[in-house]
Amino acid sequence: SHHVVWSGRVCETACMAVPLYSRGCLECDQNSEPGQAQAPGMVRLADPSDPSNPDCPPTPNHEPSTANRLPNRPPLGGRDFLLYSQPGFFLYSPAMKSPSILILPSILSARMGYLADDCRRAMEAGADGLHVDIMDGHFVPNLTMGPDILRAVRDELPDAYLNVHLMVMRPDLYAPRFVEAGADTVLIHVESDCDLRATLAGIRAAGKRAGLTLNPETPVATLEGFDDLLDEVLIMTVHPGFGGQAFIEGGLAKIAEVARRYPQVDIAVDGGITAATGARCAAAGANVLLAGSFLFKAADMRDAIADMRWKIESARKTGD
């Protein structure tokens, strides 16, 4: 059986050695020489059609996927590759750019004095986009950033997918400003004191994705009546307002309930997300994982994202 383990551009190099589970192999230098020796603790990307690789069984060709619901994720082209490490083989296909899983580092955990550097570092490490937490100091007891910061991130990374979470008293007043500043998705709280339907409809009318967020104590039933306006539902597995909190286990049941009741929407999870908790969330039905401290404080963000992706896909395969 095969696991989908990677997202990214497939290098045209036929066969090369890369660090174990490092996403860098999918974005390597085009001048890399094929056929490099495999060192201990390494795996290889191998062209299964290459007869010089007798250990690689043939795999079918796939058409590029058009199933992605999230923006800024064009279908990939090219040949299938096998990523293999004893004892198993793992298929990477251009048609399998993990259409159901996104890993978005939360820039609340970035170094504010080096925000541009950290945002670039996250994208270069293999992130599928960036998550931006907006807090007004009233809806939650913290104050973060405004539209100008988001605009600066967009200017620095014009092609990045930007997922914005508004933790504000009046998202109806602020959603248009963040849409104009460059948000691709705007998530508002179902607990907010505003006309939720009108706010969601306005986000969509601007050509962006709209979603609702549920605090840990808020039941899934509060989503009733909004399903026609939802592209995404965000389940909070910490109390919103501060990073670095522990994962709230009760969020897993809510993820499963949303997945069962609203199969058409993307399900994001925010709070205490690591490789281990992210895998559990994915197994429950989540497909957008928002991680702050775990990724930005990692010794090597590229390895942290790759390890998270590996554990997530394994969990989704086994259902654990």
Name 86's Cβ contacts closer than 8 Å, sequence gap at least 6.
Answer: none
Among this protein's residues, is 118 annotated catalytic? no
Tell me the two tokens of residue 124: 């270069």
Tell me the two tokens of residue 92: 């990477």
* Amino acid in the structure at residue 100: S
Query: Which residue is listed with tokens 């690591």?
Result: 274
Supply φ then ψ for residue 114, to 5 degrees. Answer: -135, 40
CB-neighbour burial class of residue 320 (10 A; exposed 0-12, middle 13-18, buried 19+): exposed
Q: How far from each other are the two terminal CA atoms of the chain, in whole angstroms?
A: 16
Name 40's Cβ contacts closer than 8 Å, sequence gap at least 6.
Answer: none
Are 273 and 252 in contact by the 8 Å Cβ rule? The answer is no
Are 295 and 109 in contact by the 8 Å Cβ rule? The answer is yes
Among this protein's residues, is 133 annotated catalytic? yes
Instruction: State the sign of the Cα–Cα–Cα–Cα dihedral 114, 117, 120, 124.
Output: negative
Cα-based distances in Å from 181 to 22, 50, 174: 33, 47, 11
* Amino acid in the structure at residue 241: G
How crowded is the C-beta side of 83, counted as CA atoms within 13 Å?
A: 24
Set 47, 80, 118, 133: catalytic member: 133
Set 47, 80, 184, 270: catalytic member: 270
Angle subtended by helix axes 115-124 and 147-156, to nearest 10? 50
Supply φ then ψ for residue 161, to 5 degrees. Answer: -80, 125
Residues tagged active-site: 133, 270
